[in-house]
Amino acid sequence: MTVFSLTTPIYYVNSDPHLGHAYTTVAADVLARHHRRSGDDVFFLTGTDEHGGNVARAAEAAGLPVKEFCDRVSERFRALAAAVESSHDFFIRTTDPEHERRVQAFVQLLKDRDQLYEGTYAGLYCSSCEMFYAESDLIQPGNFCPLHPTRAAEWVEERNWFFPLRSWAPRLLELYDANPQFVRPRARYNEARSLIEGGLEDVSFSRATVSWGVPVPWEPSQTIYVWVDALLNYRTALEYGLGRDVTATFWPTNLHLMAKDILRLHGIVWPAMLLAAGYEPPQGLFVHGYFSSGGQKMSKTLGNVIDPFEVIESLGADALRFYLLREVQWGQDGDVTWEGLHRRYEGELANDLGNLVSRTTAMVARYRDGVVPAGRSVLEPIDVRVGERLAEIDLTGALEEIWGLVRAANRFVEERAPWALARSDDPADVARLDETLYTLTDAVRSLAVLLWPYMPESAERILEAVGDPGAIGWERAGLGLLEAGAAVRQPPPLFPRVELPA
Ligand code: MSP
């Protein structure tokens, strides 16, 4: 059995979940489902990142004790994961005492291995990113943060515990050389590698001024830098998440998914701190793009924030999952809008796929009493290509291949014109109608299997309609596997018409 462990970033609880968070979770879920139904032993991890000054300030603004605030917002993220039908194996919270204890043990281990030293940090700090910046990386004049252009980075000077990141550069370069897929896509690999080559600064691993965090074990007046605490979730979750330690099976992590904003921390700091502790670094990272809405960053002030709960309420989780992975080229930046979502819902889900399913089942009902005739498939199978795309973590590419079969099946209906064949008594036409109906029903079945990781609920309804319920395994993805004699019934509309919310 192959093992596949994968993660999303753990999301900050300083504000409510939005579509960007749904995106990474959905993408990870597609991969998790695909691997599971291919027979792999999967561990899929997501959760919330709850410490740091940012969260403490948000709690204060909300007028709540900080832990209570975290409980509430974390619950919203858990609800989002459930609403998008995420099949994660564990939802970690960095305020779990089991996590906190292990974070302390890890930094103690670094200290025991002479991997932490005392120093003074003076620099410009963005408290929204919880990151120090070089003056040249900030927007001038005013030292504004590139990611939070309304916030000026503040001058911070304090005595901290430092991690000698600089000394790990040669080992990091070895890691990158040995594994050309350590970071994908390639452009991100090059970006991370040149950051290392360009020279690394040591990183302050503790904070004297942030009290909402995990105390440094030997100096409890300092807290552990929130990013160290957060990154360690990928390890600690395996140690306690399932009630037993599964690191022997699932470590090192096969794949971390994230957006480009946190590449440096995942591609450089994280492997270095693992190497320093004597742990194996992860096998790979995939960095996807960032999306905007209507050409602009989603923001409450612009009124272009798309609430994932609202999308799911009106169109369903499957439509949201489909749209995100179809519209935004995986690995690149994209743009999402309600209009775009509706266009794809009507054009591709309701028309292309929904009509194909309803026409097919209706014709089998009308011409063959709802029983799949014997025949052979005459369409070109695509499962090998879809499998290859998914193995390369090309989530939009795989979906595009699948849509090729949707379109081919729709063309096939028009070419064969089964309604004309059904009017003929000629035995050749009768046989041709059998072949046509078999090919179509079987193609619909294969499509449902191929689409299952993307749209699990719709796929299961389609499989039930074509008389092959529950057959989601990857070995069923090819064409020609539907048994003649299967009982077909017409499903209620899969993608009913809906009005755009005002
Ligand atoms: N807490 C840190 C991550 C710690 S991981 C050890 C963090 N949290 S976050 O809430 O800001 O989430 C960032 C992640 O959410 C991105 O890396 C990405 O996965 C997802 N996205 C948030 N907004 C997004 C878009 N607008 N577009 C695409 N993905 C987005 O960073």
- Tell me the average pLDDT across 464-486: 96
34 C-alpha to center of ligand 1: Å?
A: 23
- Residue 259 CB less than 6 A away from ligand 1: yes
12 C-alpha to center of ligand 1: Å?
A: 8
Distance CA 27, CA 32 (A): 9
Distance CA 319, CA 317 (A): 5
* pLDDT for the residue numbered 310: 95
20-40 pLDDT, tens digit per residue, is 999 999 999 999 999 999 999
Choose the residue to mutate in 8, 18, 23 for probing ligand 1, maximizing ligand atoms within 8 Å of C-beta.
23
422-431 pLDDT, tens digit per residue, is 999 999 999 9
- Tell me the average pLDDT across 113-133: 89
Backbone phi, psi, residue 119, to 5°: -155, 175
* pLDDT for the residue numbered 500: 66
* pLDDT for the residue numbered 470: 92
* pLDDT for the residue numbered 502: 56
DSSP alpha helices (H): ranges in 121-251?
169-178, 186-197, 226-231, 233-240, 247-250
The whole model's pTM is what?
0.94
Predicted confidence (pLDDT) at residue 293 exceeds the cutoff of 90: no
Q: What is the mean pLDDT of the chain?
A: 95
319-344 pLDDT, tens digit per residue, is 999 999 999 999 999 999 999 999 99
Q: Do 241 and 89 touch, CB atoms closer than 8 A? A: yes
* pLDDT for the residue numbered 187: 97
What DSSP letter does each residue of 14-43 carry, written as one string? TS---HHHHHHHHHHHHHHHHHHHTT-EEE
- Residue 265 CB less than 6 A away from ligand 1: no
Predicted confidence (pLDDT) at residue 357 exceeds the cutoff of 80: yes
- Residue 231 CB less than 6 A away from ligand 1: yes
Distance CA 66, CA 21 (A): 22
- Of 137-141, 223-227, 279-283, 480-484, the range with the lowest mean pLDDT is 137-141
Using pLDDT thresholds of 50, 70 and 90, give the confidence band for residue 301.
Answer: confident
* pLDDT for the residue numbered 501: 59
* pLDDT for the residue numbered 262: 95
334 C-alpha to center of ligand 1: Å?
A: 15
- Tell me the average pLDDT across 356-377: 97
Give the whole-number percent of the chain exceeding pLDDT 70: 99
| 252-288 per-residue burial string, b: 16 or more CB within 10 A, e: under 16 | bbbbbbbbbebbbbbbbbbbbbbbbbebebbebbbbb
Predicted confidence (pLDDT) at residue 246 exceeds the cutoff of 80: yes
Which residues, other chains included, contact 226 with Cβ-Cβ below 8 Å and sequence gap of 6+? 49, 51, 52, 130, 207, 210, 213
- Tell me the average pLDDT across 95-112: 98
Predicted confidence (pLDDT) at residue 170 exceeds the cutoff of 60: yes
405-449 pLDDT, tens digit per residue, is 999 999 999 999 999 999 999 999 999 999 999 999 999 999 999
Active site residues: 18, 21, 126, 129, 145, 148, 297, 300
Q: What is the DSSP letter of 347?
A: I
At residue 452's C-alpha, the angle toward residues 451 and 457, to 5°, is 115
Q: Which of 34, 6, 86, 87 is nearest to 450 (CA)?
A: 34
- Greatest CA separation found in the chain? 91
* pLDDT for the residue numbered 143: 93
